[in-house]
Amino acid sequence: MTKTSSVTPNVSQHKTENPDPVTAPAKPLWRRLLPLIILICGLVGAWASGVLDLLSFDTLRDNRELLQDLVSSKPTLSILGFMGIYVIAVALSLPLGSILTISGGFLFGAVLGTTYVVSAATLGAVIVYLAARYAFYDVMHNKAGSAIRKMEHGFAENAFSYLMVLRLIPIFPFWLVNLVPALLGVPLRSFILGTLLGIIPGTFVYASIGDGLGALFDQGKTPDLGVIFEPRILTPIIGLAVLALMPVACKKLRKSKSGDANHE
């Protein structure tokens, strides 16, 4: 009689080679929403407190000497305080961008005012971006349909160019352009660079207005905030937006030629 040998599988080795997938526990809803809840509470609190009414051309005119003396005597504190206020205003999506930017030019001059405003506005925008991405991106990505996924892929592929256009030409509110890229999976680096560079021209226009605000006050006048839409100013900005879209157009042209070549 021939003895049949049996081979016992190495159970532990089998488990090691084919591990069961471990699914990371989903973050609780309250934790994902907490950053946005904090920002929304801050927004409601700012509106309820009436702080938005405090910042106006009348306030700047009435406190002109006090503010200029503060900038002269405590420049570092003044810069940090101004930038802190600007970051908070952008993070809370308060409609104070124009008056704050003009105030920056009024207090620090056109060039330095532009520098401080661009830095602070970019930081505030990043806060909103990160809060929205942390709260909604995973949910939206998992439940998005094919149309949303296609839009997400197209936007992310040319994120820098699209962001430059959206920042250069204020077609949509600043706060909305902070939220949408977060939900469409735009890389943080592209978001920062697109925001930082894209807001420079418009910021410089308003900071330059602020730089001449003292002369307007002496004449009993206030600046025209619609100046940025004048053709002499808007035309060069639109030109920059067209240049920002050139890489997208080149990509589409190359893909079109490649597709035609494959068909042949």
Average of per-residue pLDDT across 204-228? 89
Residue 184, SS3 per DSSP: coil
Residue with tokens 């970019």: 122
**Contacts of the segment 185-192: beta carbons below 8 A, 24+ positions apart:** 185/137, 185/141, 185/152, 185/155, 185/156, 186/155, 186/156, 186/159, 187/156, 187/159, 188/126, 188/129, 188/130, 190/159, 190/160, 190/163, 191/125, 191/126, 191/129, 191/159, 191/163, 192/122, 192/126
Domain ranges of the chain: 28-259
pLDDT tens digits for range 141-189: 666 656 566 667 777 778 889 899 999 987 888 999 999 888 888 889 9
Q: How far is the C-alpha of 232 from the C-alpha of 241, rounded, in Å?
A: 15
Q: Which residue intervals of 28-158 are DSSP H helices?
A: 29-49, 57-62, 64-73, 75-91, 97-108, 110-132, 138-143, 146-157
Residue type present at position 78: S
Q: 6 vs 3, 9, 10, CA distance in Å?
A: 10, 10, 13
Segments of the chain assigned E as strands: none
Neighbouring C-beta atoms of residue 113, cutoff 10 Å: 26
pLDDT tens digits for range 12-62: 444 444 444 444 456 677 788 888 899 999 999 999 988 888 888 999 999
Residues of the chain with pLDDT > 70: what percent?
81
Q: How far is the C-alpha of 21 from the C-alpha of 131, rounded, in Å?
A: 29
Residue 208: pLDDT above 80? yes
Residue 223, SS3 per DSSP: coil
